[in-house]
Amino acid sequence: MELTDVRRLTGVNFLSDRSGAAAEAAVPDECKGVAIALWRRHMRALLDAVGWGHEHIRVRAYTGGASLMVSAPVDALYTATEMIEFTWDVTCEELASGKSADIEAAAEGFNAKVADESDPLLIALATAASERGVTFLGHDDHVSVGLGTGCTAWPDGDLPEAGEVDWAPVHDVPVAMVTGTNGKSTTVRLTAAIGTAAGRTVGLSSSDWVRVGNEIVDEGDYSGPAGARLAVRDPRVDLAVIETARGGLLRRGLPVPQADACLITNIAADHLGSYGIMDVAALGDAKFLLAHAVKPGGRLVLNGDDPELVARSAGFAGDITWYGLDLDRQAFAAWAEAGGHAAFIVDDMMILAHGSERFPVIAVADFAPGLGGAAKFNISNALGAIALASALELPVAAMTEALSSFRGTPEENPGRGNFLQIGGVSMLVDFAHNPHGVSALADAVKDIPANRRLFLLGQAGDRSDGETRELTRAVWSAQPDMIIAKELETKLRGRNPGDVPAVIVNELRSLGAPADAVRIADTEMDSVRMALEWSKPGDFLVLLLHGDRAPAMALLDKLKSSGWQAGDPLPDRGEFS
């Protein structure tokens, strides 16, 4: 009975509406009920013994384990994690030996830990911010009140008395959060572009960088709390758009406690098996956490094409803005007439509807990342950005300007639907890594004329064979002429080299792929080179890149600038590694 993923929950989270600590417990199903009941009893006794009788315990059971959570004061979260570990250890010992634990004796040590961790200045600042209706953020290297242009921050450990703070300039700025299985990064960047066109200084956090205005503040995967806080604490920012990934939500909770608008793109199988999320329904519950962040008077923006979101919408009491490619026109016209907002397509025109008014935004053909209507996933992302921008009260003219000029280049939207033409070959570079995303991409590729089509295909080692086979079937649905099964050498995650490509190749053989239509590459860069060497003028290459995107893009840039044509030799391998 092992305890894993012990973590602090710094805000509203999947298990509770309060901060605290959580852990995943691996427990055989046959003894789970007894083990959890005993752990609850020990934890309750310890909470009472340290004076935390008002704190609550939450348990979420799943096959093979359970999520254990206890709420705790915001200045005692490390102690709370140790309390979970201690009570689980004594639970396991008692089940194994029958020896009862002495919780009272342990309480003295935990009271000392609580005293050591307590931070009255932190609590006072949080209380004062709450009384003034401004955002308080802590639990990292800094503590801050207010957001963006109204933010004041201090290094953790050097906090002032709440009464010493000049509260007059402290205020919040509008914040939007975006989550979902696919489309988060693109939707965030499109919305940020609309904000920029409206004259706002946008703080954007995403899976590639944090950007303020036109300046990239830092690069890396910043789709979690660290990126959000880097964006919302920047004093130049008067509008923040935050990509909010599943991992951060489950590991820490909401990155900011409230937002003016929250968008959920879709719910589909991805990363199942971590943090107790074992199926799509549980994943939907986790992502729908963003609904709890919508301020009174704010709006929740939902993809009406997603049945999981439509089903969950009935439980949300606030205002909803809908968007989608296949919305029931009559139903959503009625929704708009009744005062709701919706974004959908009429006669190949993206429109925003509210009341009896219809606001044309942009023709589908004029939105470059839509690839003339073939890339329906990007058209859906654009509709989502329109809906979110509307919830942020950005003008329609800014929507039109931004979406008309957004080209989806690697500079604007790295790794997301980047369409390139080099040496007579068309290429699409994308990060798609789950069956839902790859299926959407495959549907788009089938509608684009080409002599031959090639896909690079790989998968991280922590995905199941079943998930990898499903991903392979999604690629095969595009009827490619060549598939290169690539090793993601930096993402083996417990697998042996060759294991994942073997699963891909075996599934392709079962689907009837000819032997000469499948190749294996030992690294991602090898797969890119193999694709380029295979290509001829008029071909279409779908480069699904997950680990070596930077050197791959550097190689493609070199080929374009040098005038390379399909069939020419490639530069030496050592130059791009």
Which residue from 428, 371, 463 is spatially nearest to 545, judged by alpha carbons? 428
Q: Can you give the pLDDT at residue 447? A: 80
**pLDDT for 286:** 81
Alpha helices per DSSP H over 50-135: 77-97, 103-117, 120-132
> Do the domain assignments include residue 489?
yes
- 430 falls within a domain: yes
Query: Do 533 and 483 share a structural domain?
Result: yes
Residue 346 has pLDDT above 70, yes or no: yes
Same domain, 426 and 515: yes
Model confidence pLDDT, tens digit, residues 396-450: 999 999 999 998 888 888 878 888 999 999 999 988 777 777 888 888 888 888 9
Residues 138 and 266 in one domain: no
pLDDT digits (tens, 9 = 90+) for 163-204: 999 999 999 999 999 999 888 999 999 999 999 999 999 999
Task: Indicate the pLDDT class of residue 549, thresholds 50, 70 and 90.
Answer: confident
Segment 472-490 shows an average pLDDT of 91
What DSSP line would sit under 186-242, residue for residue? HHHHHHHHHHHHTT--EEEE-SSEEEETTEEEEES---SHHHHHHHHT-TT-SEEEE
Residue 270: domain span: 175-405
Name the nearest CA neighbour of 193 among 14, 411, 46, 481: 411
Question: Is 558 part of a structural domain of the chain?
Answer: yes
Question: Are residues 424 and 543 both part of a single domain?
Answer: yes
pLDDT above 70 covers what percent of the chain? Answer: 98
Per-residue pLDDT averaged across 519-530, rounded?
Answer: 93
Structure tokens, 514: 């000819």
pLDDT for 548 equals: 78
Q: Are 447 and 533 in contact, with CB atoms under 8 Å apart?
A: no
pLDDT value for 577: 56
Q: How far apart are CA 118 and CA 124, in angstroms?
A: 12
What is the CATH classification number for the domain harbouring 534? 3.90.190.20
Q: Residue 31: how many CB atoms within 10 A of its CB? A: 12
Q: Which residue has the tokens 């023709």?
A: 363
Instruction: Examine the domain organization and report whether 514 and 401 are in the same domain.
Output: no
The answer to whether residues 453 and 566 belong to one domain is: yes
pTM value is 0.88
Whether 270 has a pLDDT exceeding 70, the answer reads: no
- pLDDT the model gives residue 357: 86
User: Does any domain span residue 170?
Assistant: no
Q: Kindly state whether residues 186 and 285 are assigned to the same domain.
A: yes
- Give the phi and the psi of residue 358 in degrees, each rounded to 5: -125, 120
Task: Give the mean pLDDT of 464-493.
Answer: 89
Same domain (yes/no): 378, 466: no
Residue 169 lies in a domain: no
Number of domains in the chain: 4
